[in-house]
Every structure is written in C-alpha cells, then in structure tokens.
Structure 1
C-alpha cells in the first residue's frame, strides 16, 4: 500500500465537558493513560503537533499549544486556531478530538493512506462500527481546510456546528476501536473494555468453544430432531432391504431357463405368498419382495416371451437384479456418527433404518433482540427513526447458522433495559432459549449499555473484542444460568458479518458438533483490500472459478450482499491471489 504521506496534527483538547459535570475530559485516564495521551500516541508519526485547549504542563517541548478565542467557542473555531498555530507545513492535516481512548496510530495511517489514493478528495473521515461518520477524526488537505474556514469567514467561526465546515466529496474509512467518550457512561464502558482486549478471530473461536457448555441430550423422533446434532451414533434398527426385493421391473425366475411364465404377478407391497417351482417365472414389479424358490430377477429388456415361455435374449448379459436382504445395511449397522447434524437426509435414513428415536442436542434456540430508540419495524417513520431492515430477516440468517428463532423483541436504549433481559428466567430450562442474540449496543458508546449490564449480571465475558472490521465490537458471554449472549454490531452489514463468522462456532459448542472447518480460497485481488486489521468484505466466484472481493459501497444496509456468494476475511498484508477464509452467504 506504500508509505502514507507526511502530515501535521491538530488535537482538540478543550478541557471541561459540560455533559460530564465540567471535568477535564482529555485528562481522564483509561487503560493507564489519559485520553490526550492516547491522541498524542496515535499521531506520533506526524511532522508537527499542536494541542488546542488550556495550557498543559508536562507536554514535550516539541508539541505546540494554543487556545481558541473565545474559549469554548466550539470545534470549528478550535480547528482554525490549530491550523493558524501550525502555519505552513505538510500538505495533509490530521484533526482529532482528545476523547478517543483506544485510537491507534494504524488508524491515523489508514486515513492518510486513503486520502493519498484519492487526489481529488478534500478530506477523509473515520466511519465507526455503527455507520456514523466521525468528523472529529479525519485528515484534511491543508488548502481545503483553509479554504473552507475562509468561506465561512474567520470572524464568524465561534459556535459553528461541524456540519457547516464539512466539504462535499469527502471520503469515509471504516474503522474499529474509535468509540468516543462524551458521558460518564461512555467512560465507564471504555474502562470496562480494558479487561477484554481485542483478540484474533481464531483465538475468539477457541475461547467460545472452551467456555460454552454443551446442551443436555434429549430423545426425539427423527422428524422432531431436525436441526439438532446426534449425541450418540445412529444405528440401524432393521435391515434394508427388509426382504429380498426386485431392483427392476421384470421377472422372478427359478433355475437357468427357459421358464414357464405363471399367471401370478408380484407387486410392491404384496402380502400373498408365492412358491416358485424350478423352471417357472412370475411377473414382478420394482420393490416387490422376491417369491420363495426364485433364484434371480431378470429385467424386462433382457428377456423375450413366446406364448407362455420366457427365455433370456441371446445378446443379454447374465445378471441378477435382486436386492438381497440387508444389502444396504444390517441391524446394528452405524448410519451416522455422533456429532452429525440431523438434516433431512439423516432423518430420512433414520426412517429407512426403522430408527424410532434419536439422542440429540439442539437445535440451538435464540431470542433475537434488536436495540435502539431509533429503530422502527412497522408503520411510517418519524423524525430521527430508521427502518428496521435487519430484524425481520434475522431468523433466516440464524437458520443458515443452525439456530432456531424462538422469540423476537425490541429493546430501547435505556440504562436498565438489559438488566431485565439478562435476568435468569423464572420458567424452566426447557422453555428458555439457549441464546440471546442482540443486534446493537456492543460499541461502548453513550447508548450502548450491554457490556455494563453483562458485568452486573455476573456473566462470564468470553469474547469482548475481535481484531477485524467490521465486527470488532462483537460480544460472546455466558450468563450464570448457562445461556449464551451473542452481541452483534447494530450496523446491518457488520451484524451479518459477525453472525456468519462467530455463530457457527457457538452452535457447535452448544450441540457438540465438530468445530466448523474454515473454507479457504485464493482471492485474486486480495492485495487491493488488505488493511491494518483483518477485513470482512463481499466476494464473488466468477465463471472461471476464481474469487474476487469488493469493498462494500455502504455498510448501513445489505446492498453489498446482492449478487455476492460469500464474505471473505482478508488478513493484513495478504497479496493478490493470497488465501482468505470464506463465509458462505445464505442462498
């Protein structure tokens, strides 16, 4: 991808936060460093840095400090003050707020590199996991920023909303780990994250399998067991075929022939007894049991009939079209091993083998919860609302992963809403879902209360962060009563990507099925899409069998999945033609 261009940095560290009781927000310590310290670490590769805000002792002498005037005049005025303090310098200027405790230098370099690739774009801004553009985390072309400030008017910048400054044609770069802290709840959520550092996807899957206990085994008929997983081998209870039967329409014969054709006809399901004398034959249908005394079944096309005499054609092969009793299997023969999912084929074989009961685990059942005050499924949208474009489809996606949807609900963004949801149900274990699949509330933002509620419930946080995007904020936890919580990002594309990469492992742990084997394939253009963290993108297999990936045009919807065959997880530094894990999409 090349070395990103040189850049300068403006850090907005405006001191007191009214939404947090007037505390000095940039000085708040999370994970052992202040949020201002996190910002400075993230722009360590810059040519020059200026911090806009009250003077702070202890900063390195190379870091310039300035203050907007009037103090507290808003981010647009602060950006102008920072740009003035920089004077001339690098052609690109990174602007960020000092309230991003987990920001990394890789994220900054990714923004700069994105702007390098689009010479005509005036700026590039981070796009967080919820699909929100973070305008206070971006990189500007210096001349574009100066021009926008001049257009507004330098004397009229105080208390201007950021949207008045944003130019047309800007880029967005999807990123994880860029949650900001605007409230005390945000700070608490951010501090809770420090106990769950991001892990690789393979490690997350191993942790889930180790932490999740298998469901108890239950006895079920073959049809009611569909979707479950065999807890013990499935053994044949009867032979197949049960009797010697005809494999073809033809004649049951006794001896070498020619044969005298008797008037009796053997139909499938006939219960009458027929004794075939040597040198005799009877008409027989496919599936009919062979009469006693028969030595073979000869198909129609291999014989000729003259009056009542049946003889083999001179050019016909000598063969026997009898299916012998137990030819497919004998009683007690293994038909399917433990750990095999009970599909329609398995259930059909059980019926063929006279197996009346199976011992199975699952299928796993889920309560699907869509979160967010802004989400509306039915009726006209009101101001600020968003159509629920994922919730109604979640049962289909879950079914693809082997999960049966037992209940659905919507949860508003309230601090205590999750506590009731996560509380141990009063109904018996047989009635409760095995999983709670939550869409949204995983990012640690102001309205994202899931992590704190899990901590209050005494849940074991198995997976708190995963190094990938999207899907980095995913959550896997086990409640004290054994139910599993699978937290998905609220962004529809991120939610589906997370579900497909993690749910099959959760299901295998619950049901005792073998761990899913990753499907690996070379991606012809992988080098174009590799980033600083594993990236989950759509992939299509073309007519020649080769796989090509594409960056989703938007992640707030599922348009990128139309026509795609799979999602591909492209690791950092993967070259063109390098291998990636494929997550097949539902068909």
Structure 2
C-alpha cells in the first residue's frame, strides 16, 4: 500500500492507553487525558510583581514598616503611607501601586519615587479564573505544564501514560560484539531500537534476541505483555522469515502488509486477538529504521493519545530522482536553500541516516522531484 496510507492506518489501528491519575513527579512525558482546568484564581489575591514598596496615593510617602515574605495579613495602608514588600507578597488593602526598589529614594522614613496607579501589581485572577480551561486534553506534559499545574494548586494530573514497547531481534547470523565476518553480521538494529522507542515517547523493555525459530518467535509473542511488539529480521518472505506464518497461526489480522517505499517495503503491522500490535521490521538496518519511523511512530503517537505527526514541506534545489511506483526515503542535510541529499542511502546502510538531519519523503513519479516532505530521524514526540 502507499506510504501515506500505511501511516494513517497504523495510527487508526492503535488505541490510546487508559487515563490514570498520577502525581506531578510521575506525570512528566505523559499526555493529558483530560483538560487542565484551574480550580481557583491565580493569583488568589493582589500580589507584588516587584521587590520594593507598596504605596497608597501620590508621594512622597511615609514608610510604616516592611512586610515579611508569606505574611498572611498584609494589613491596610492609609493615604500617603508605604510599606516594604517582596515579589509575590500579598498587597496591603488600599495600596495603589508598587515602587521598585531600584527607583525608590528613602530618607529616614520618607519614600520618594515614580508611582503609576496599578503599576507592578499582579491583580487577583490575572492569570486565570476558577474553571478556566488552561490546556486541552492531548497536550504532552512537559516541565512547563507541571509548573502550571502546581501554580493552580494541583497535586495530580489525569494522564495517558507511555505505552510499553518490546523489541525482538531475530537472526542466527547476528553477532552482538565485535565486527562482522564471513557468514556473520553485526546486529545494528538491536542497538537502535531502545533509543527510537524512548524518543517516540514509549517505554522500552530490554531487547530480546531470538534464533531463526518459529517456535521461539511464537513463544516470545505469547509471553510479551507489551502493547506494541517490534520484530526485526523476519518480515520478508525468505526461508528464515517466520513472522507472517507465525502471525497467521496466532489468528492475527494484518493492517499493513508491505508498503510501497524504498527502502523498507517488507514492513508489516498486525493485531493479535487480544489487541496487542506487532510491527514487522525488515532485517536491513536502514530499512528497519524507515519502517519504525513510518509505522512505529504513527502507532505510538496514537497509543499516547496524540495526533499523527504532520510533515513539513521543503525544497530540494538540486532535485532528487523519483521512484516510478514507490515513495523514496532519502537522507538529507538541511541548508538555507533547502534539503540536500547526502547519499549512502541503501537499505543496509546507516552511514547516510547517521550523518543526515532528516529523511526527505519523495513521492513516486516519472522524473525528479524538486520538493519533498521531511520525516524527522529523531522521532521526538515528547
């Protein structure tokens, strides 16, 4: 199927996780499951926006004291009076403005300085009123969101937690230390997957290495408790590729079974009878990376309660050859003039993607494309 359709179907097939209540310290990186609504006014009372002196009326003023930070009762000022105040402290009743410390001239108990009515005072409810919706559901909880929640007095948030993603790397020919050799291939996909998973906003379980055994694959799929299971190295149609027969024997329903893209066309997405999703990644490293960025990111986005990430458009000034029937994913560097292909983009190569800023998504066509969309290599969606 077409590359864009595969992304849309993968996103639609996944289901957002169940919303839970979490303390602020545990909510970072989650997604708001319900809107963030302020339970009260912020600030709850008029507060000083600067260190200085709260004053009433026109100067000069008589300084009658200094308010302690956190004073529960700031008292009342009469006309012509002033009191020292710190940023964030409650304004005394009757105060009309705050004179900043750097503008204040104090001689004994006499204060002079510029005073404009309402200046340097944060009025009650200035930031929000009780019941105001501050953020909609579907926003990623980052440090600023946590700070806002604390500001309005919340201790917990209702969030969709990150999904758990497992990675199964298959292949009798793989070695996990040292270089490749005759009949042996260094595993490059296993080291990639945990970082890709976490950057996409999911929780990665330890990578599990399997032999080219259908029984081992069946057992690993049955035992995994992850919402999404990545299987690399067995998604094609060769004699050692057991994923499709295994999924068929388990009664899985294929959502994506091959994508018209280069590299990465053998990728697949299937749903097991219990609702878990299985993503088949090709065995070549760049092809596996493309498959994760195509289907994996779309699936994880939906599991987190997020929309399908939109892709930006960019010019390719020198042009890039199109494939007649398939979408091409081309490593590019980004310059002030647009995207520049950097080569080394074969399905087994990671030199190009490692040096690239992004992948250019080049639509099928008969000639060259002078524009493309950008697929981020770092799938940072929170």
Q: Deviations over 1:59-83 (max 9, x none)?
A: xxxxxxxxxxxxxxxxxxxxxxxxx
Residue in 2 that maps onto 1:323: 122
> 2: CA distance between counterparts of 1:435 and 1:222?
26
Residue in 2 that maps onto 1:400: 199
> 2: CA distance between counterparts of 1:504 and 1:488?
13
Q: How does 1:118-517 map to 2 (within 5 A)?
A: 199-267=1-69, 269-271=70-72, 273-313=74-114, 320-378=119-177, 384-423=183-222, 432-517=225-310
Kept after mapping to 1: 8 A contact 2:317/2:337: no
> 1: CA distance between counterparts of 2:328 and 2:21?
42
1:558 aligns with 2:350: yes
Aligned to 1:504, what secondary structure does the other structure show? helix
Using the TM superposition, give the Cα deviation of residue 299 of structure 1 relative to its aligned residue in structure 2, in angstroms.
1.8
Greater percentage in strand? 2
Kept after mapping to 2: 8 A contact 1:459/1:480: yes
Aligned to 1:416, what secondary structure does the other structure show? helix
Residue in 2 that maps onto 1:8: none
> 2: CA distance between counterparts of 1:394 and 1:348?
32
User: Structure 1's 524 and 502: CA in aligned 2 closer, same or farther, altered over 3 A?
Assistant: farther
Kept after mapping to 2: 8 A contact 1:423/1:457: no
Aligned to 1:423, what secondary structure does the other structure show? helix
Kept after mapping to 2: 8 A contact 1:367/1:405: yes
Using the TM superposition, give the Cα deviation of residue 408 of structure 1 relative to its aligned residue in structure 2, in angstroms.
2.2
Using the TM superposition, give the Cα deviation of residue 209 of structure 1 relative to its aligned residue in structure 2, in angstroms.
3.1
Aligned to 2:262, what secondary structure does the other structure show? coil
User: Structure 1's 362 and 460: CA in aligned 2 closer, same or farther, altered over 3 A?
Assistant: farther
Using the TM superposition, give the Cα deviation of residue 289 of structure 1 relative to its aligned residue in structure 2, in angstroms.
2.4
Q: Deviations over 1:472-523 (max 9, x none)?
A: 1111111111111112112221111221122222123323322222222222
Q: Deviations over 1:272-320 (max 9, x none)?
A: 644333311122222222233322212234433333221224xx76651
Kept after mapping to 1: 8 A contact 2:342/2:356: no
Q: Deviations over 1:321-344 (max 9, x none)?
A: 011122111222112111222233
TM-score, normalised via structure 2 length: 0.90
TM-score, normalised via structure 1 length: 0.60
Aligned to 1:560, what secondary structure does the other structure show? helix
1:585 aligns with 2:377: yes
Kept after mapping to 1: 8 A contact 2:160/2:304: yes
Kept after mapping to 1: 8 A contact 2:322/2:362: yes
Aligned to 1:358, what secondary structure does the other structure show? strand
Query: Is the deviation greater in 531-540 or in 388-397?
Result: 388-397
Kept after mapping to 2: 8 A contact 1:524/1:577: no
In terms of Rg, which structure is larger? 1
Residue in 2 that maps onto 1:535: 328
> 1: CA distance between counterparts of 2:214 and 2:354?
36
Q: For structure 1, list consecutive stretches of 5 or more residues without a partner in the other structure.
A: 1-198, 426-431
Aligned to 2:352, what secondary structure does the other structure show? helix
User: Structure 1's 224 and 324: CA in aligned 2 closer, same or farther, altered over 3 A?
Assistant: same
Query: Is the deviation greater in 569-578 or in 343-352?
Result: 569-578
User: Structure 1's 529 and 207: CA in aligned 2 closer, same or farther, altered over 3 A?
Assistant: same
Aligned to 2:287, what secondary structure does the other structure show? helix
Residue in 1 that maps onto 2:341: 549
User: Structure 1's 493 and 381: CA in aligned 2 closer, same or farther, altered over 3 A?
Assistant: closer
Aligned to 1:580, what secondary structure does the other structure show? strand
Q: Deviations over 1:93-124 (max 9, x none)?
A: xxxxxxxxxxxxxxxxxxxxxxxxxxxxxxxx
Q: Which residue of 548, 567, 571 corresponds with 2:363?
A: 571
